[in-house]
Amino acid sequence: MRFRAIVTAVATAGALAITLFASTAPAGSACLIVQNAASYWVAGRIETRMRDRSDFRLGAGEQQRVCLDGSPDEDGRLHFVLKNALAMPVFMCRAKTVTHVTIESEQRDGKTRTYAVCK
C-alpha cells in the first residue's frame, strides 16, 4: 500500500508549533517539523523502514511540517534524509515524530557541510 504524503507550511516556531501541529495532524500520521537554518535551499525526505516517504524542499530560513499518512517505526522514529542537487543522499539520521529537525551548515577546509540536528 502506498501512503499519501502531506506537506504543510508552519508559520510559528517552538512549542507553539508542536502544539498546533499535534492538534491538526491527521489520525495515523507520522510528522516532523523541518527548519532550514542554512543560507541556501535544501531538499530531502522523511521515510519509514517500509520505504513510505514524503519529499520536501526548503529555501533559506523556511520551515515546514512534513507528514506521512502511516506509522513510524516501532521505536516511534522516522528516517530523515538530506539530498544533494542530484537527489543523492548526503546525510541521514532518525528522528522522533512530532519534533523539530533543524538543518544547519558549516564551512570547513573550504567545503560546506550540510547536516541536521535530529532528536
The candidate with the shortest Cα–Cα distance to 61, out of 43, 80, 41, 45, is: 41
Q: Where are the domains of the chain?
A: 5-117
Instruction: Report the distance separating Cα 2 and Cα 55, nearest Å.
Output: 14
pLDDT per residue as tens digits for the range 78-99:
999 999 989 999 999 998 876 7
Instruction: Report the distance separating Cα 1 and Cα 98, nearest Å.
Output: 23
Instruction: Report the distance separating Cα 94 and Cα 72, nearest Å.
Output: 11
pLDDT per residue as tens digits for the range 24-53:
445 457 889 999 999 999 999 999 888 788
Averaged pLDDT of the chain: 77
Instruction: Specify the pLDDT at position 7.
Output: 39
Residue 57: HSE in the Cβ half-sphere, 13 Å Cα cutoff: 4
Domain 5-117 is found in CATH 3.10.580.10: no
